Amino acid sequence: MGWYNKRLAKSLWVFHVSGSPCNNCDIEILDLITPAFDVERFGLKLVGSIRHADVLLVTGIFNQKIAPRIKKIYEQAPKPIFVVAVGTCMSGDCCFKDSYNKVKKREDIIPIDLYIPGCPPKPEAMIAGVVKLIGVLNG
């Protein structure tokens, strides 16, 4: 599978889903496709449909309402799919850690492969994270 993983590493198509975020991370994610950062260099592309995606990019905390929907989106994706969690909310609950409506453990909903902390993470940090994913795929 090494040969196929190299192909996969060169063309990761990203589907972006917001799990009740404050929108800061989403704005920073859109910075990635602007001329200053241009992740199409690595073959990354934002796609509109989860059926086309290789990477599921999630932001925000998972509350009780959004959790089943995130699970449904994950199940609709063609495998292999990698889940990248962006933001401090995803990696450490941030200021919502005592919220009554958040799910106990995100990893019970979907398996998460990569955390990118930051509130919001800088585009450089996100590129560094994605390059780590590519490095793992390349072996």
Partner 1 sequence: MIGWKIFYLLVFPGLLFTGVLGLIVGWVDRKLSARLQFRVGPPFFQNFNDFLKLLGKETIIVKDSIKSVFVATPLAAFGFLVLISTMIGLALFFHEGFVGDLFVIMYLLMIFSVLVILGGSSTGNVYSSIGSGREIKLLLADELAFILICLIPIIKSGYQIQLKNILEVQSVQGPFISSVSGAIAFVIGILCIQAKMTLPPFHIPEAETEIVGGPYMEYSGPLLAFWQLNHYMMFVIYPFLLIALFLGGFDLHGIGILWAVLKYLLIIVIMILIKNTNPRIRIDTALNFFWRYATPISFIGIILAVFGV
* Closer residue to partner 1, CB minimum distance, 70 or 77: 77
* 131 Cβ neighbours under 8 A, 6+ residues apart: 42
Name the strand (E) or helix (H) holding 123.
Answer: helix 123-138
Whether the bond into 120 is cis, omega within 30 of 0: yes
Q: Binding pattern to partner 1, positions 30-69, x when CB under 8 A?
A: -----x--x-xx-x---xxx-xx-x---------------
Name the DSSP letter for residue 107: G
* Distance of alpha carbon 7 from alpha carbon 103, whole angstroms: 36
Residues from 79 through 118 that contact partner 1 (CB under 8 A) = 79-80
If one asks whether residue 76 binds partner 1 (CB under 8 A), the answer comes out as: yes
49, 138 Cβ separation under 8 angstroms: no
With contacts defined by CB under 8 A, name the span among 62-70, 78-86, 112-120, 125-133 that binds partner 1. 78-86
If one asks whether residue 139 binds partner 1 (CB under 8 A), the answer comes out as: no
With contacts defined by CB under 8 A, name the span among 3-11, 20-28, 112-120, 125-133 that binds partner 1. 3-11
